[in-house]
Every structure is written in structure tokens, then in C-alpha cells.
A and B are shown apart, each in its own frame.
Chain A
């Protein structure tokens, strides 16, 4: 008989995958991997601010992650050298967050829960937030799919078809902030970017169309969540990292198959 907390954890992982599959595909196609990292690291600063002001952690994370994502995409349109800028912002936000948390009065905060996730402690209320946020992102991407894809392919082609590439980019940016906020509890700030990139990268090999890749990435993410949880239960390993390790294993198999069986 499965324990109740395991069922909640499994539901949390599967729920998150609905969003990270399609969003992660765009992150890979648009080469936003480091962008995702910076946004995710900013979540720690959001946690600190939420604790200091006694606000809900998800809200604090959402606001700070959105601010970081907007700042980064604004800087990139201003033609800044993004590699170094993202590196500075990403690690500064993380370090600043860790320092800020030390100022939180009262009980000592369990930092590792925010850094690596605490999926086994997910409550039914957390689940509602995770499914709500992930569902919102998935619905938004499904609704704008064709426009997002055209804007990803080429800004000019999009503009000639009457699509504003900046607006579509903004939708992805804000979606990223929502995913970061809801994923914090599942895999933690340090591994959110991994859950965006690894399932999508694993789905690239077998996929022949963008839609297939997005759906496959979601399935791989869900499967990795379940496999990681099972492994965590079996071997008493940390759940969040175990999920990412499972996703990495799937990526490895996919990459080997693509190498051995070129289409």
C-alpha cells in the first residue's frame, strides 16, 4: 500500500511535467538554458523576502522570479553580452538570497528544502498550487502555440505574419517565472533548470515535429518524477536530485539511440 505522501509527491511531479515539457522545449529551441538558471536562482531571493515579510513563499518566489526574468529579457534586447550578464545576475541573486535568508528572524530555515526541493512534504494545498500554475502555463502555451513557434523560428517571419515576437517572448518569460515558483517545492531552485532542459533534450532525438517533442518531454518528465521517487523510496536518496538523475538517465539512453540509429 502506497503512503499518502508518496501519492502527493507523485502527483506533484506529474503536474509539474505538464508545464516543463512544452516550456522546456521552448527553452531549448530558443537557447534560454542559462536564462532559466538565472530565473530559478532568483527564487531563493524570493524565498528570503517572503520569509522576511511573512508573505506566502510561492508569491515571493513568483514576484522575484518574474522581476529577474523581465530584467534579463530587457537586457538581452538592449544588446548586452548575455553570457556574462546572466552569469552575474544568476549567481548574485542566489548569493544575495542565501545571505538575506540568514537575516530571517525566528526559527532557523531549512535551506536545503528550497535549494533541492522537498517533494515528500508536498501538501494537498501545495498540489493545488502546482497543478494550477502548471496547468495555466500549459494552457497558455497551447493557446499561443503557433505564434510562439513562428516567433521562435524567426522574428522577421513572425512580424511579416502580424505576430509580435516581443509579446510572445514575454509570454514565455512570465511562464518561466510561474514554473519556477511552483517547481521550487518539487526539485528546488538549483535543479529547476535541469527539469526544464533535460526532458526536452531527451525528447529531441526521437521527435520529428515540435509538437511531438513537447508532448514527449512532458511524458519523460512525468516518468522521471515517478522513477526518481521510486528510487528515492527504495534507496533513501534525496527525492529532487533523484528525479533529475532519472531524467538524465533517460537523456543518456535517448542520446545513445539517436547516435546508433540516425534517422
Chain B
């Protein structure tokens, strides 16, 4: 059974249509990447799927009791709020100190429990966010452009970590990205979004799709090799037909 299913999903503010006719499903253990240019409605779709926003058309169904680990695009901590990493990881649900230490080690920032959240570097902060999401033993990890502000090395390392996490926990991963390089080959499925679903399929299918190229050009092709990822199993995905860019 799908973890999250959406059918004919749409969101409009008055006359402004932000998303329309989006059908979406993600199954256990799947890695799905959502790509699209800025303003294409990626974050909006994620927020609809999580129930942060309510759709103006269509509906979202989450499997009952679904545990979601959410890593937001950005999180600004007000300087007036004193917050250690360990306390942040225990929000809103308390966890044993040992579990917190173990999770920090898993995401590659061991021993930072007592550090103030505001004192972390960009990369450490993203990993802390990930650790917090993982502590709830999620069925699905939702990451909204989690590598913003990281350099290319940091980005590659972060995606390697996500892949490790998937392998270890079996959680599904829904990843939002504004470009395809580095992460793309790790995905089982890529959905290209631009107000609606432009095209959908395996990473290479999407990278070759004219709709994708119309949005992104050819520039990212070479970078796909940056992070090769071998699957020892096969997927059969259909490639969405009949995209239009009206």
C-alpha cells in the first residue's frame, strides 16, 4: 500500500494557480525525487502532502498512523531562544539520551548534544535536522531541498548519508531538489514539476525527456556521473505521456 497518495491535487490563491492536477503516490522504501525550477510548486506539493496546507482541489490520503520525518527547507532559530542540539532532537517527543547520541553518530555529528543549535555550521545543522527526523523511526523521510547552502562536497556527502539511512532503516524518501545533479541517480523515480507533473520516470528517462530538457537545458547531463549508484534490483516505471507546457 502507498504511504501517501494524492489525486487530482490542486492549490490556487484566487485566480493564481500554484498547482493543478497532481497525482502522486509513494510506496515503502522508495526514493522519489521531486525536481522543478524555482516557483514550480515543489515545496507547496510537499506541504500539501504533509497536511501543512489544505488543497483547494483533489485530496491527499496518508496511511493511518504514518510516521513522517520532515526536514524543512530552512529553519531559522530566533536568537532569543536557547536550544541545545539534544533538546531540539527531543522535540516534540522525548527520547532517551542514548538514542539521541546514537542518532547524532549515525548522521556523522557525534558529541554535539550540548552545542547550541545556533552555533552549528550549515552542514551540521542539516544533519541535526535529519537526526531529529530519524529519531521518530519514520516510515517516510521528507526532505525539502536539504542541501541548500552546502558546497558540492557537503551536498554529495549528505546524499550519501540519505542513501545509507534508506538502506539501514528502509524508510521511503521524498526528496525535493531544484536541480538533478548528484542526487538523481540514487532515485527510484523522478517527478518533474512545473505547476503540474511535466514528466515522471526513472532518472535517466527523465533526464532524456524533452520536457525536462525544456525546463533545465542540457547542462546537468555530465554531472549525473558525480554520484553513481547501482541498483541490484529492477524497477518498472512508466514514463508520463502527454506533457504540455501551456
Residues of A within 8 A of B (CB): 28-31, 146-147, 149-150, 152-161, 163, 201, 204, 207-210, 212-213
Contacts and interface: CB of A to CB of B under 8 A. Distances in A.
B87 A157 contact: no
A153 B80 contact: no
A21 B56 CA distance: 41
Interface in B64-102: 68, 70, 72, 75, 77-78, 80-84, 87-88, 91-94
Given A157-B75, A159-B50, A209 B92 contact: no
Interface of B: 47, 50-52, 68, 70, 72, 75, 77-78, 80-84, 87-88, 91-94, 114, 116, 136, 142
Counting chain B CB atoms within 10 Å of each CB, which of A31, A152, A153, A163 scores highest? A153
Contact of A29 (B68, B75, B81, B94): B81
Contacts of B94: 146
Nearest to A30: B78
A212 B82 contact: yes
B142 A209 contact: no
Contacts of B50: 156, 159-160
Contacts of A212: 82
A146 B88 CA distance: 10
B91 A153 contact: yes
10 contacts: A149-B92, A153-B75, A153-B83, A154-B72, A154-B75, A159-B52, A160-B52, A201-B80, A210-B83, A210-B87
Q: Would you call the interface of chain A mostly helix, strand, loop, or mixed?
A: helix
Contacts of B70: 156-157, 160-161
A259 to B, nearest CB: 14
Given A28-B80, A153-B75, 9 more contacts: A29-B80, A146-B92, A147-B92, A149-B92, A156-B47, A159-B50, A208-B114, A209-B84, A212-B82
B142 A160 contact: yes
B83 to A, nearest CB: 6
